[in-house]
């Protein structure tokens, strides 16, 4: 059974700056998209992006739309990136654009309301790239199943101002988002050594900020002051930073409430590729909790940490997502822990890409999957607890490549795995690379975070 000990949180040092996204990487991804599109029978791919849903365009080009929308059209012999007023110059951040591999078009309709209009319409740009007998794959940010819509193939998840002209110009337009994001065959569902280095940097930045927040918590401070103590860095955020206290829903941000003893709290810091989250009680020990919750560690946190150890043990290539689902349901019974979402999912520039882990899933976990340990319990009396960090499943070949190309990244991941095994007592296989120094740490009493639960 898990128990409390007092330790210093590990500090494996700040990573070096990760490698920049290179032209060779971008060209390889563009080629992979063309090959995948051809295999599915698409004559052209049209990729939509906006501020909230920039991951697919960014993965392909290194460019992400700011403020407005953008559209990438890829055919076997051409590629066009269409941007609005404010993003037009910013497209040069893409190595493909800088090298002339991808052309750029200006469409003022992609700009913010009331900004100058005129020039070529979106339909005109699309007409240049498409033929009337084309079958087009449209990529937004989700695909649909037969239990959701009548015809999943033609249920598009892009705005009507893009879907309508596509349907008028081409013979058929299908939802092709799964080609980018599906956990088994999506192009973004696997990462290589360079991406691991980038993910580790993002996880470090988010984890370091969350650690500063936790160790800066003081009774009487406002939640705004708590978030200020995090000193969140300048990486783009994958979702809004939360700070929920008491009975406020978990996705709330700071509101000016003061930290008081004896209430639950939860918070996160999320960058592209990393979401570090913790939950516990604003307390120094069990005596600060309401009477009904004073067995919080024994009854709620200890089984959760034990279950997360089991989760780690299953993060190996070839294990089916349904197997993980089944075991996590048994380890964390719904009537006590109330876990409603998938116990783990893929993470990328978007906080949730997709997940191979769901009821009845036959999709195998695979080397290169960047996994978020995102298992969210909730209880009317105990509140919640959380050990949410990023990991990568890596077989021997990927680990060897990481060690050869980014030895310091590999060394830190190995050190974190040893800490989780030898100090926390978790079952962490060699195939699981922990990306943050917070991995394995649950501090149930947030006003005394040196108290950590171990197996």
Q: What is the CATH number of the domain that holds 221?
A: 3.90.230.10
Higher pLDDT, 424 or 242: 424
Domain contains 274: yes
240 pLDDT higher than 90? no
Residue (of 374, 357, 359, 370) closest to 250 by Cα position: 374
pLDDT tens-place string over residues 14-58: 999 999 999 999 999 999 999 999 999 999 999 999 999 999 999
Residue 72 shares a structural domain with residue 167: yes
User: Buried b / exposed e across 307-316, counting CB within 10 Å, b at 16+?
Assistant: bbbbbbebbb
Instruction: Tell me: do 233 and 279 sit in the same domain.
Output: yes
- Flag whether 346 is in a domain: yes
Same domain (yes/no): 211, 82: no
Instruction: Report the mean per-residue pLDDT for the chain.
Output: 96
Task: Give yes or no: residues 291 and 388 share one domain.
Answer: yes
Residue range 242-269, pLDDT digits in tens: 898 888 888 888 888 999 999 999 999 9
Taking the C-alpha atoms of residue 67 and residue 86, their distance in angstroms, rounded to an integer, is: 8
Say whether both 98 and 241 belong to one domain: no
Q: Are residues 213 and 338 in the same domain?
A: yes
Q: Which of 111, 140, 175 is the last residue of a domain?
A: 175
In a domain, 36, yes or no: no
Q: For residue 354, how far is the Cα from the chain centroid? A: 9
pLDDT at 120 over 90: yes
Average pLDDT over residues 425-439: 98
108 in the same domain as 49: yes
Residues 107 and 218 in one domain: no
State mean pLDDT over 262-290: 96
Residues in the chain: 455
Listed as own residue / partner, the contacts of 233-238 with beta carbons closer than 8 Å and 24 or more positions apart are 233/205, 233/209, 233/271, 235/202, 235/205, 235/206, 235/271, 235/272, 236/64, 236/271, 236/272, 237/270, 237/271, 237/272, 238/270, 238/271, 238/272, 238/273, 238/274, 238/275, 238/349, 238/350, 238/351
Residue 34: its pLDDT value, please? 98
Task: Answer with the one of 154, 175, 196 that is the final residue of a domain.
Answer: 175
Helix pair angle (193-216, 223-230), 10° resolution: 140
Separation CA 76–CA 86 (nearest Å): 29
Q: Give residue 75's pLDDT.
A: 98
The answer as to whether 264 is a domain residue is yes
Q: By percentage, how much of the chain surpasses pLDDT 90?
A: 94
The last residue of one of the domains, among 153, 175, 197, is 175
Number of folded domains that form the chain = 2
Residue 183 falls inside a structural domain: no
The answer as to whether 419 is a domain residue is yes
Residues 68 and 89 in one domain: yes
Q: Which of 256-265, 293-302, 429-438, 439-448 has the lowest mean pLDDT?
A: 256-265
Kindly state the average pLDDT of the residues 71-86: 98
- Residues 389 and 203 sit within 8 Å (Cβ to Cβ): yes
Quick one: which of 326, 220, 347, 218 has its CA closest to 276? Answer: 347
80, 103 in Cβ contact below 8 A? yes
Could you tell me the residue range of the domain that residue 358 belongs to? 3-11+188-454
Model confidence at 1: pLDDT above 80: no
**How many Å from the N-terminal Cα to the C-terminal Cα in the chain?**
6
Q: Please check whether residue 24 lies inside any domain of the structure.
A: no
Mean pLDDT throughout 94-102?
A: 98
Band the pLDDT of 409: cuts 50, 70, 90: very high
Do residues 228 and 144 share a domain? Answer: no
**pTM of the full predicted structure?**
0.96
């Amino acid at each position: 059974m898990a128990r409390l000990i007092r330790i210093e949180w590990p500090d494996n040092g700040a990573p070096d700056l990760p490698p920049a996204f290179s032209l060779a990487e971008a060209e390889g991804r563009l080629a992979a998209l063309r090959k995948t599109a051809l295999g599915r029978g698409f004559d052209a791919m049209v990729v939509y992006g906006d501020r909230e849903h920039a991951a697919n365009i960014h993965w392909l080009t290194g460019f992400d739309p700011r403020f407005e929308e953008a559209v990438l059209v890829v055919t076997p012999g051409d590629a066009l990136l269409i941007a609005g007023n404010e993003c037009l110059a910013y497209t040069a951040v893409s190595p493909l654009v800088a090298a002339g591999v991808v052309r750029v078009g200006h469409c003022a309709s992609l700009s913010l309301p009331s900004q100058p209009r005129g020039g070529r319409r979106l339909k005109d740009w699309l007409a240049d790239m498409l033929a009337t007998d084309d079958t087009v794959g449209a990529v937004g940010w989700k695909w649909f199943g037969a239990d959701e819509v009548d015809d999943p193939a033609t249920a598009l998840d892009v705005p009507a101002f893009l879907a309508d002209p596509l349907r008028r110009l081409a013979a058929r337009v299908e939802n092709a988002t799964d080609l980018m994001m599906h956990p088994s065959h999506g192009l973004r569902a696997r990462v290589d050594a360079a991406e691991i280095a980038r993910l580790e940097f993002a996880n470090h930045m988010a984890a370091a900020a969350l650690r500063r927040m936790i160790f800066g918590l003081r009774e009487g401070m406002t939640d705004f002051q708590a978030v200020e103590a995090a000193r969140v860095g300048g990486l783009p955020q994958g979702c809004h930073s939360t700070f929920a206290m008491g009975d406020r829903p978990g996705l709330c941000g700071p509101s000016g409430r003061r930290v008081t003893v004896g209430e639950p709290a939860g918070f996160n810091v999320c960058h592209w590729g990393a979401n570090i989250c913790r939950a516990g009680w604003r307390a120094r020990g069990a005596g600060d909790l309401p009477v009904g919750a004073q067995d919080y560690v024994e009854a709620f946190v200890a089984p959760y940490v034990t279950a997360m150890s089991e989760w780690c043990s299953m993060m190996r290539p070839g294990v089916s997502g349904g197997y993980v689902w089944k075991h996590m349901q048994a380890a964390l019974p719904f009537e006590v822990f109330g876990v409603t979402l998938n116990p783990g999912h893929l993470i990328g520039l978007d906080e949730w890409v997709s997940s191979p882990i769901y009821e009845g899933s036959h999709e195998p976990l695979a080397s290169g999957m960047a996994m978020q340990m995102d298992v969210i319990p909730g209880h009317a009396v105990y509140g919640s607890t959380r050990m949410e960090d990023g990991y990568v499943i890596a077989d021997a070949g990927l680990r060897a490549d990481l060690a050869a190309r980014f030895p310091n990244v590999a060394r830190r991941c190995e050190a974190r795995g040893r800490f989780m095994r030898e100090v926390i007592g978790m079952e962490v296989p060699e195939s699981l690379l922990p990306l943050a120094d917070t991995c394995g740490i649950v501090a149930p009493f947030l006003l005394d975070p040196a108290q950590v639960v171990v197996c």
